[in-house]
Amino acid sequence: MILLDRVSKVYGKDSEDAAISRVSLHVEPKEFVIVVGQSGAGKSTLFKLLTREEKPTSGKIIVGGIDYENLKDKDIPNLRRKIGVVFQDFKLLPNKTVFENVAFALEIVGVSNREIKHTVPKVLSIVGLKSKESRYPRELSGGERQRVAIARAIVRQPKILIADEPTGNLDPKHAWDVIRVLERINKFGTTVLLTTHNQDIVNKLRRRVITISDGKIVSDKANASYEV
């Protein structure tokens, strides 16, 4: 599903300042992987390489059978439909309802209104928000807003979901609401990559944990805990 072979990303001319340095990584389909590390360790750069926001300086990236070396610019939108992304700060449209926020992700790729009306309620059910489809973001709790963001990210049925610090702004209860939704999505067959600084979440999930430090993978363990 995801293969990185000795991937490096250098900003500027100094190879000593590599954001990612010779990273090799393999993630199987339907895995749930937690990526941890201090701020500035290289997690965000790794995700930007996967979504093709950035190109590697060297090394090979293959995602879902697509070799990024041969990826043309016109094919990038199709690639990104296979990768859903959730951020810490939700990025919802304030003047659209819950339903409209999720539907928007389908509208921009030309999905019919009939298909939207069929699909969006199903996705809102998965994240536990079907009863709130007419609410606006300002009427929701932080955890609910994050679940709307997750619904929007998965409505196009991506093979991979990248959740970049999705619980960073949430209290413990709402954080766990979000984590349970991610686990449910993973059970449906979506590969999940989660970054978090929340040691309690990492230790209770007992999933595969990849630790990044100074742009390098320093640990990759199954059923792991994490010391922040």
Local confidence pLDDT in tens for the 228 residues of the chain: 899 999 999 988 766 678 999 999 999 999 999 999 998 899 999 999 999 999 999 999 999 889 999 999 898 888 888 899 998 888 899 999 999 999 999 998 899 999 999 999 999 999 999 999 999 999 999 999 999 999 999 999 999 999 999 998 889 999 999 999 999 999 999 999 999 989 999 999 999 999 999 999 999 998 777 665
User: Do residues 164 and 148 share a domain?
Assistant: no
Identify the domain boundary among 107, 138, 157.
Answer: 157
Q: How far apart are CA 121 and CA 103, in angstroms?
A: 10
User: Do residues 74 and 128 share a domain?
Assistant: no
Would the pTM of this model clear 0.85, i.e. be above it? yes
User: Do residues 62 and 173 share a domain?
Assistant: yes
User: Do residues 153 and 163 share a domain?
Assistant: no
Domains held by the chain: number: 2
Residue 108 structural domain: 92-157
For tokens 């997690």, the residue is: 43
Three-state DSSP class for 4?
Answer: strand
User: Do residues 193 and 206 share a domain?
Assistant: yes
Q: What does residue 87 show for φ and ψ, rounded to 5 degrees?
A: -110, 170
User: Do residues 44 and 96 share a domain?
Assistant: no
Identify the domain boundary among 157, 180, 197.
Answer: 157
User: Do residues 2 and 51 share a domain?
Assistant: yes
One-letter amino acid identity for 198? N
